[in-house]
Amino acid sequence: MRRVLQETGAARGIVVEYLPGAGGALALPRLVTGLRGHDDTLMVSGLTQLASALVNGSPLTLNDTTPVARLKGEAHVLAVAAASPLRGLDDFARALRADPLGLRVAGGSPGSTDQILLALIGRRLGLESTQLAFLPFSGGGPAAAAVLEGRAAAGISDWSEFAPHVAAGRMRALGISGEQRLDGVDVPTLREGGIDVVLYNWHGVFAPPGLESAQQARLGALVAAMARSPAWAREVAERRWRPLYLAGPEFTAFLAAERRSMATILAELGLRPTASTN
């Protein structure tokens, strides 16, 4: 995003501050309490932080920010080791139905979008979330290692995390969680394989609270112009993201619906999300 804003001349002198870890639990308080009323700061966040706030019962959520726009989503991939007997989605579905607790699937931390996708797949196959064996790791790298070392039968992660292993022939991608196949990638969608699930690890832009309407309008116009630019289109294509631009009341309504949906799924997983709608 910084590169595109600079390339298009929409913003200059951009400073990026990384506050990784804890599902965004460090970044959110800084934006909400430390930068209230500042119209020169934007935070990139999305589904991972929304789910993390629910899992941890955080007193602060994305609802405490000023939502600007949803920008893009990255599809997840379900993959196995190259030597796995699971050759396709049909094989995976049969194996999961036959022995859900015996088929261990590696992914990110508890409550991650990886675990959420497995829960959605299980639901479509008639399985309860508590019947599924999800192995949580700190990220896509350790999850891939678990698959390659035989500690997990399959793994779920963002496409970008597993893509190098797939390209090198170490892993075989069974299905993509997007609405359509990725350009240049010969991997079917889950829907093509008979599992009617679509999930994107979406990201959007959020500003601090306490902004006046004119400030909100200025930031919204800046992000909208970036999202319409050829430079952003190239960035999305190169990274195999899905453009998911959504702004204004529609984005606010999407966030509310997504929060309710994720709260239900996380409750089914026994991760005790907060009952608050904030």
Same domain, 10 and 25: yes
Banded model confidence at residue 27, pLDDT cuts 50, 70, 90: confident
Q: How confident is the model at residue 59 (pLDDT cuts 50, 70, 90)?
A: confident
**With 70 as the cut, is the pLDDT of residue 14 above it?**
no
Distance CA 81, CA 225 (A): 42
Residues 259 and 209 placed together within one structural domain of the fold: yes
In this structure, are 50 and 104 located in the same domain? no
In-domain check, residue 42: yes
Residue 167 lies in a domain: yes
Confidence (pLDDT) at 276: 44
* Residue 181 domain flag: no
Residue with tokens 């309504």: 253
CA proximity to 111, closest of 64, 196, 50: 50
Task: Map tokens 């080791």 to a residue.
Answer: 81
182 found inside a domain:
no
Q: Strand 43-46 relative to strand 200-207: parallel, antiparallel, unpaired?
A: antiparallel
pLDDT the model gives residue 3 = 73
Q: What's the number of domains the chain is made of? A: 2
Q: 33 or 26: which carries more pLDDT confidence?
A: 33
For range 147-174, the mean pLDDT: 96
Both 83 and 156 in a single domain? yes
Q: Indicate whether 81 and 165 sit together in one domain.
A: yes
Q: For residue 185, is it within any domain?
A: no
Domain containing 112: what range?
Answer: 74-176
CA 154 → CA 80, 178, 244, 253, 256, distances in Å?
4, 18, 28, 35, 32
Inter-axis angle of helices 213-228 and 230-238, nearest 10: 60
* Amino acid sitting at position 245: Y
pLDDT digits (tens, 9 = 90+) for 104-137: 999 998 889 999 999 999 999 999 988 899 999 9
Q: Which amino acid is at 97?
A: R
- Domain with 117 in it: what CATH number? 3.40.190.10
Phi and psi torsions of 89, nearest 5°: -65, -30
Q: 132 and 81 in one domain?
A: yes
Q: What is the pLDDT of residues 221-275, one digit of tens each?
A: 999 999 999 999 999 999 999 999 999 999 999 999 999 999 999 998 888 644 4
Q: Is residue 29 part of a domain?
A: yes
Question: Average pLDDT, stretch 158-177?
Answer: 96
Give me the CATH number covering residue 65. 3.40.190.150
Closest among 23, 170, 153 to 93, alpha carbons compared: 153
- Asked, for residue 211, whether it belongs to a domain, the answer is yes
